[in-house]
Structure formats: structure tokens, C-alpha cells
Amino acid sequence: MTTSWPETVAQARELRRALHRRPEIAWTEHATAATVRDILDTAAIPRRDCAQTGTVGVLAPHAPGRHVALRADLDGLPITEQTGLVYASEHAGLMHACGHDGHTATLIAAARWLKAQEDSLPGPVTLLFQPAEEGGHGAARMIEDGCLGPPLGNAGGRPVDVVFGWHNWPALPLGRALCPDGPVMAANGTFRVELQGRGGHASQPENTRDPVLAAAAVTVALQQVVARRLAPQEAAVLAVTSLQAESAPTVTPDTAALGGSIRVPDLGVRDRVFDAITEIATDTAAAHGVSAEVQTFARYSATVNHPAPATELRDALTAVFGDDWPRHQAAAPVMASEDFSYYLQEVPGAFALIGGGSADAKETAPLHNARYDFNDDLIDPVARLLVGLAGGARVPTADKKPR
């Protein structure tokens, strides 16, 4: 069993890059899950499968203190990598563009260190290796499968008392973080508008009902939802992210479609935005002589920190990064979304966004970008953070090594 902290961090760095080479999207993380399970088995950390490709590990299951859960996510994204790295994705059309490879490797580092001091842990520690965060509601499935219950289903054990999570955030410089009381990330939803017109020859527009023109008009009209349907004090983002109207240069098609996403601070605002999308898309389409079918899909709720765990997480951030970590320009909540919200609806807990960007974070590729790469310099401090939250002994200072 590895007890050297520098060796633990070095192994996690190697694991992170190995995971980066073979990303798997939501609900297909079979090789990733097998790797996590093999590592836990080798470290003699009891575990069970959870939610198909998820895994729950446990340390000190019979310790009398509070039961802490720590979470990492596993899945990648359907994006073609353009980093040119020696460890770039070997799976065509897939990449770890959100840093879940780094989250997994960091929790493994903390788990190995905590295992070496398991007998002195004050309470049980549950390790949540969760699939399908990227829109797959993996956290909900983990909860349904009992991940927050007594350790490994031990009838005499206690369920999870508090849960902690984090996400790397390249928009913030390394050493900065965001961890407020209350909302830290927004709720979200998606929408799709299908337009039915009448196709024909491009030279005879009077004989057609052009769904392409209607789609363009709907796209522009939807921009009034945030600007004119919500109060300035209500934060929201509405983005049309796709347009489809395949045809030939001389052919007006019968149909067109557009889709996108919304980000809002609470579910009441989400419902109002959805209603406005339906109204505006339907009426705009009608004004162009075509019909519209609008579908809206609720996804994740806002990620809302509980005050006491958030205070504890902020104290842990100070212990690792020093007093300057709150000094940044990010406002809460950020408008991205996270299915960690499901855990926080079940038990108290907190979630932090931890900076992984350069000194000028604007120069760092953002999440979900084909040139993004997780900053390996986060592994050491965040693994220390997780060890501290679990009640583990203070980690000795490790020599800093270049990426």
C-alpha cells in the first residue's frame, strides 16, 4: 500500500492521463469503471457496483463518527479532441472535455491515502464514483441504488450524514475557488422546435412556406425572452445551439428544426422561460405561414449548498490554498449546471468550483472545448482537501512538480 504522498500524487497523475486516452460517454463507462474497481480492490477498499457503471467504495465502515461521502464523476463527452497532447483521446469523436478524468484520479489519490490511515478515521467515508453526469442523471440513479445509505448496505451502519463535491473551473486561476452558501450552479433545461412548412423550388417562394426563414426568425425572437420577459434582477441564459434544415441549393425544404438550452437560478423561472419559448416560437412560426411543435425538457435543478457544510468546505479551501482563494471575479451562481444537485436534495452538503486556469484564466481553454485539458496541478491540493473533509490526518507538504 502506497504511503508516500508524492508517490500517491504521481500515480494519480498517471491514472488521469490514462483515463484521458480512453474517454467513455454517459452510461458506457465500462472500462473506466473496471479501472476504478481494480484500483479499489488492489488497495483492499471494499466496494460495490452501483447504477450500472458506478462504484461505491467505503472506508472505516464501523467508525462511530459522522458518515462523509466524497464524489467524482466518470464520463466524457462526444467531442473530437484537438489538443495534440501525447495522451490525447484514442477514441474517435470522444474526449474528456470537462475534466472528469481529473476528478476521478483525484478521488483515487485521496482514497489511497485515507486507506493507509483507516483505523484512525473518525467516521465512515463513502467514495462515490458516479457515471453519467453529462445529462444522464447519474447522481439520481446512484441515489436510487442506495449510494447514500449505510456503508455497503450494512444494516447496522448509519447513512451518509454529509456529502462534498467539486468541479475544476478553468475560468478561475489556479488557487481560486467559489463556494457560497446557497446556489453555486444553476438549474437547466433544453428545448427543441420543429417547424413544418411546404417545400418547393427556390425560384418560386410564393408557392412555398419557408421553414428556414421561420427558423431564423424564431432564433432571433427567442432572444427577447431574457431581455424582455424577465426582470433585470433575474439571471438567465437562453442559447439556441443548433439549427437543422438539410436541403439542396435550389430546394426549399419542408421542415427545419432548432434547439438549445436554458440556465436559470430556480425552477419557477425555468417554468416561465419554457412557457415563453413555446409562445414565441409558435406565434413567430405562424406569422411565417408554418407550424411549430415545441418540446421542453427539464434537466437538473440548481446546485444549492447547505450553509454549515459550505462553511466547512471554505475552511478546508483556506487550509489548502491560503486566505486568498476567495479573491476572484466569478459571481454565484454560475450558469452551468451539475447533477450533484440530486445529492444536496437528499442530505446536507456542499460543492465548490476550484480554479484550474492560468494566471490569466481567459487564456485557458474552457470546459466542453476541443482544446481543453484538465490541469494536473489540481490533483495534489484537491486530494488534500478531500482527505481533510473526510477527517484524515494532515498530509505532509509535497514537492511541487511541473506538469
Quick check: 357 pLDDT over 90? yes
Per-residue pLDDT tens over the stretch 267-299: 889 999 999 999 999 999 999 999 999 999 999
- Tell me whether residue 194 is annotated as binding: no
> Which residues make beta-bridge pairs with 270?
none
Region 11-35: what's the mean pLDDT?
Answer: 98
Number of CB atoms found within 10 A of residue 7's CB:
12
Q: Helices 379-389 and 5-21: crossing angle, nearest 10°?
A: 110
Contact 53, 29 (CB under 8 A): yes
> In the chain, which residues fall in CATH 3.30.70.360?
187-299
Residue 315 in grid coordinates: 475552511
- Tell me whether residue 98 is annotated as binding: yes
The pLDDT confidence band at residue 359, using thresholds 50, 70 and 90, is confident
| Per-residue confidence (pLDDT) for residue 403, from 0 to 100 | 39
CATH topology of domain 5-184+302-390: Aminopeptidase (3.40.630)
Sequence-distant (≥ 6) Cβ neighbours of residue 331 within 8 angstroms: none
* Residue the block writes with cell 481533510: 388
Sequence-distant (≥ 6) Cβ neighbours of residue 123 within 8 angstroms: 60, 63, 64, 65, 66, 67, 68, 161, 391
Sequence-distant (≥ 6) Cβ neighbours of residue 283 within 8 angstroms: none
Quick check: 398 pLDDT over 80? no
| Second CATH level (architecture) for the domain 187-299 | 2-Layer Sandwich (3.30)
Per-residue pLDDT tens over the stretch 380-395: 999 999 999 999 988 8
The pLDDT confidence band at residue 361, using thresholds 50, 70 and 90, is low
Sequence-distant (≥ 6) Cβ neighbours of residue 180 within 8 angstroms: 305, 310, 332, 333
Mean pLDDT of the chain: 95
| Per-residue confidence (pLDDT) for residue 370, from 0 to 100 | 98
Residue 263 in grid coordinates: 440556465
Q: What is the pTM of this model?
A: 0.91
- Tell me whether residue 134 is annotated as binding: yes
How far apart are the C-alpha atoms of 395 and 141, rounded to whole Å? 33
| Per-residue confidence (pLDDT) for residue 213, from 0 to 100 | 98
- Tell me whether residue 147 is annotated as binding: no
- Tell me whether residue 67 is annotated as binding: no
